[in-house]
Amino acid sequence: MLDRDELEPSATRWNARVARFVGRSWAVIRRHRIILFVAMALCLLGGALLILMATPDYRATASVEVQDVPAGAAGAGPAQRMSASDTETLMQTQLEVLRSRALAEDVARDLALVGTPTFFDGMGEKRPADGKGGQSQRQVEQARVVDLLRSHLEVRLPGKSRILEISFVSANPVLSARVANSYADSLIRADLKRGFDAGVQARRFLLGELDGARRDLERAERDLATYAAHSGRPVSEGGAATLAAPEGSTAARLAQLNAFRAQATAERIAAQKRWESARGASADSLPDVLNNGAMQQIVADRAQARAQVAEERQFRKDAHPEMREARARLAALDEQADAMAETIRSSMRAQYDVAVRGEQQIDREIAKIEDQARTEQGRDVQLGIMGRSVDTYRMLHDSLLQRYRDMASQAGFQAGRIQPLDRAAVPERPFSPKVGETLALAALAGLALGLLLIGARHVFDDAVTSGDTLGERVGLPLIGAVPATGDNPPPPDIFRPIAASLQLATADGLPRSILVTSAQEGEGKSLTLHALALALAGLGKRVLVVDGDMRRPVQHRLFRLPATAGISEVLTGQASAAQAIVETGEAGVSLLSCGAMPPNPAELLATGAFDALLAEVQDRYDSVLIDAPPILGVNDALLLSAKAQVSLLVVEWGRNHHGGLRTAVERLRRAGGRIIGAILTKQQGRSLDYDYHRGG
């Protein structure tokens, strides 16, 4: 990164450049201030003429307010605040409605603008007299009226408000006010009409929806009644089926059977226990046998018979008839007891079987009742669904009916979204043309035009008329100025101050070799060099004039000498410098003329022979003046400028080079020439002393 010590010189150089640029720009503007003043004066004059010739325009403004929701809108719920984007969309919509052709046509009908010349007179327009393109005259006039209304309408949204300012501009103040108010009224009417049409459409839509809801309700009630009749359920007046279970219904029977099944199950379990106990135990040990009265009698008789048999056995043998009779009676009682026990056991089995069958029968009856209950439950669910459907359709029907009644009751009484705010008043003074603004704009336009002309002249016109313009154009100092003398050489006395200035051109005094050239031909470089050589000789200097313009040599004619061997012969080795240099007849001035004109002067000058020539003659003369061709067009001057110590540019006074002067100086510098300044020739209309000794 650059440190502070490195940045400060850069800033200083930048400030210096800016200061030089500002100074040069101000100098250019100051020098060409006449152009600036003339441009401003012309623009101000044009603005004044425009104000005088312009037709006064009057602007009348009416205003309306745009609300979110129309006041008292039919069926509208509670007002809700619109978002910023919705509000902007609403306002832009109203703007486009105002600019629409339909609204302009409504205004034209409201004010009867078609068919009368009043409107066209107020607008400063010519009323159409004939039809055009298959349209009648009235159609053409109506189209023109609509176009004028739309083109002169101005609509503005002040800030972020909900106010629309409607302005109309015309040459008639009364017409402006009438049209602005008509636009506001038409906008309000259009909004009311849209609201009314929307209400009619909404009522038609609600009526259709109401009819559909009524048909749906009737169908739902009819379906519910039919289904309830099939399922045996009564329907109430409201259309809903009675879902409560009547006395002796399936649910009650199912509850009763469940109680019976619990009792039967208990009886079956008890019978099963008795049977299982009786099946594996002795009949005599069974409680039912023991508790039986007949069985108890048989047991008692059998005990008595056994006692009798035991008693008889003590006295009699088994074969004794009485013994056999007692035993037979005992056996009969045993058989009777066994038979009785088996009978009781069989009855216990029969009781168990009866209990099992009773339980199974109750289970079958319960399953049957449960199936019936599920069927009835499905019917109840379907009845509930259909009942709720009836209620839903009834609520929808009642809501639509109430909405329709509300809209019907409010039809024609609702306010619109757009409310009038201010009526347009007849303007007392025109708003256009605005004298102050017009003149200010004209002055600014004149200032801009003047600066543009000054800049264009500075860029495209490089004519030099003074030392200041010379410095602006090419950045060179002015050595001196020479008045116009036609084709005659200027007096040597005029060049003596210039010759004196040349002696201070370098630190060593008079340059040893000076190239004299110009940007274009005809600027007087050869005459200037001739006069400058005589002036230097008048100061006691020995000067050698070298005619380096091998394309148009003139120095020998200016010195009134015949054409002899010259620089061409010296560079090609045909003659030596001593042989080619001749005395001019002027004290201290010698001439090395061009000699024969070569076909390729640039190639000849580019050789090292010219450097050797300068080195040879510089020791014998105080200064060598080289007459070079113009810079633009050929490269001879560029080649010679690199060999000479300094270069001197000759510029014709007031000549516009169209950018050629800058190009010539840049080319000369790029070729290595050191330009010490310029001499202004053919000066006109100014004192000769003005530019003497001017430095740069």
In 663-693, which positions are buried (b, 16+ CB within 10 angstroms) versus exposed (e)? bbbebbeebebbbbbbbbbbbeeeeeeebbe
Domain residue limits at 636: 462-690
**Which is more confident, 34 or 10?**
34
Domain boundary among 399, 427, 458: 458
3-state secondary structure of 545: strand
Q: For residues 348 and 343, what is the distance between their CA atoms, to the nearest angstrom?
A: 9
Sign of CA dihedral 267, 268, 269, 274: positive
Cα(first)–Cα(last) distance of the chain, in Å?
39
Question: Based on the domain organization, do 477 and 363 belong to the same domain?
Answer: no
**Considering the domain boundaries, does residue 286 fall inside one?**
yes
Question: Based on the domain organization, do 447 and 520 belong to the same domain?
Answer: no
Report helix, strand and coil shares of the chain as percent, to nearest 5. 60, 10, 30
3-state secondary structure of 134: coil
SS3 string, 316-329, reads CCCCCHHHHHHHHH
Which residue(s) pair with 320 in the sheet? Answer: none
Instruction: Give me the pLDDT at residue 229, please.
Output: 79
**Considering the domain boundaries, does residue 529 fall inside one?**
yes
Question: Based on the domain organization, do 477 and 505 belong to the same domain?
Answer: yes
Please tell me which of 1-15, 242-256, 369-383, 607-621 the model is most confident about, judged by mean pLDDT. Answer: 607-621
**Considering the domain boundaries, does residue 134 fall inside one?**
no
**Considering the domain boundaries, does residue 546 fall inside one?**
yes
Report the percentage of the chain scoring pLDDT > 90.
10
Instruction: Give me the pLDDT at residue 695, please.
Output: 36
Q: For residues 154 and 352, what is the distance between their CA atoms, to the nearest angstrom?
A: 111
Contact 345, 286 (CB under 8 A): yes
pLDDT at 512 over 70: yes
Question: Based on the domain organization, do 311 and 451 belong to the same domain?
Answer: no
**Considering the domain boundaries, does residue 109 fall inside one?**
no
Task: Centre a 10 Å sphere on the Cβ of residue 154 and count the other Cβ atoms it contains.
Answer: 13
Report the percentage of the chain scoring pLDDT > 70.
85
Q: How far is CA 139 from CA 20, 131, 135, 143, in A?
A: 68, 8, 6, 6
Domain boundary among 458, 482, 499: 458
Instruction: Give me the pLDDT at residue 245, please.
Output: 47
Average the pLDDT over 292-320 and give the result: 74
Least confident interval from 160-174, 201-215, 233-247, 357-371: 233-247
- Closest by alpha carbon to 147, among 188, 101, 110? 101
> In the numeric block, which tokens belong to residue 64?
């309306």
Residues in the chain: 696
Question: Based on the domain organization, do 454 and 369 belong to the same domain?
Answer: no
Question: Based on the domain organization, do 450 and 477 belong to the same domain?
Answer: no
Q: pTM of the prediction?
A: 0.43
Instruction: Tell me the per-residue pLDDT of 215-242, one tens digit each, with 9 for 90 and over.
Output: 888 888 888 888 777 776 665 555 554 5
Which residue(s) pair with 517 in the sheet? Answer: 649
Domain boundary among 433, 458, 483: 458
Least confident interval from 127-141, 476-490, 561-575: 476-490
**Which is more confident, 91 or 4?**
91
Instruction: Give me the pLDDT at residue 284, please.
Output: 59
Question: Based on the domain organization, do 547 and 685 belong to the same domain?
Answer: yes
| DSSP for 365-386, written as a single string | HHHHHHHHHHHHHHHHHHHHHH
**Considering the domain boundaries, does residue 534 fall inside one?**
yes
pLDDT at 688 over 50: no
Question: Based on the domain organization, do 507 and 632 belong to the same domain?
Answer: yes
Sign of CA dihedral 378, 379, 384, 385: positive
Instruction: Tell me the per-residue pLDDT of 391-429, one tens digit each, with 9 for 90 and over.
Output: 888 888 888 888 878 777 766 555 678 888 899 999 988
Question: Based on the domain organization, do 654 and 681 belong to the same domain?
Answer: yes
What is the tally of structural domains in the chain? 3
| DSSP for 203-266, written as a single string | HHHHHHHHHHHHHHHHHHHHHHHHHHHHHT--B-TTSPBP-SPPTT-HHHHHHHHHHHHHHHHH
> In the numeric block, which tokens belong to residue 115?
């068919």
Question: Based on the domain organization, do 282 and 373 belong to the same domain?
Answer: yes
Cα angle 513, 516, 518 (rounded to 5 degrees) comes to: 155
Instruction: Give me the pLDDT at residue 556, please.
Output: 83
- Alpha carbons within 13 angstroms on the beta-carbon side of residue 640 total 31
pLDDT at 107 over 90: yes
**Considering the domain boundaries, does residue 593 fall inside one?**
yes
pLDDT band at 203 (very low <50, low <70, confident <90, very high): confident
Average the pLDDT over 375-397 and give the result: 81
Cα angle 674, 641, 650 (rounded to 5 degrees) comes to: 75
Question: CATH number of the domain that 625 lies in?
Answer: 3.40.50.300
pLDDT at 78 over 80: no
Question: Based on the domain organization, do 485 and 629 belong to the same domain?
Answer: yes
- Runs of H (alpha helix) within 281-292: 287-290
pLDDT at 75 over 50: no
Instruction: Give me the pLDDT at residue 89, please.
Output: 85
Question: Which is it for strands 163-170 and 58-66: parallel, antiparallel or unpaired?
Answer: antiparallel
3-state secondary structure of 170: strand
Instruction: Give me the pLDDT at residue 384, please.
Output: 81
- Closest by alpha carbon to 670, among 645, 648, 639? 639
pLDDT at 87 over 70: yes
Mean per-residue pLDDT over the chain, rounded: 80
Instruction: Give me the pLDDT at residue 601, please.
Output: 84
Question: Based on the domain organization, do 254 and 379 belong to the same domain?
Answer: yes
Instruction: Write phi, then psi, for 420 (nearest 5 degrees).
Output: -70, 145
**Considering the domain boundaries, does residue 290 fall inside one?**
yes
Average the pLDDT over 523-552 and give the result: 87
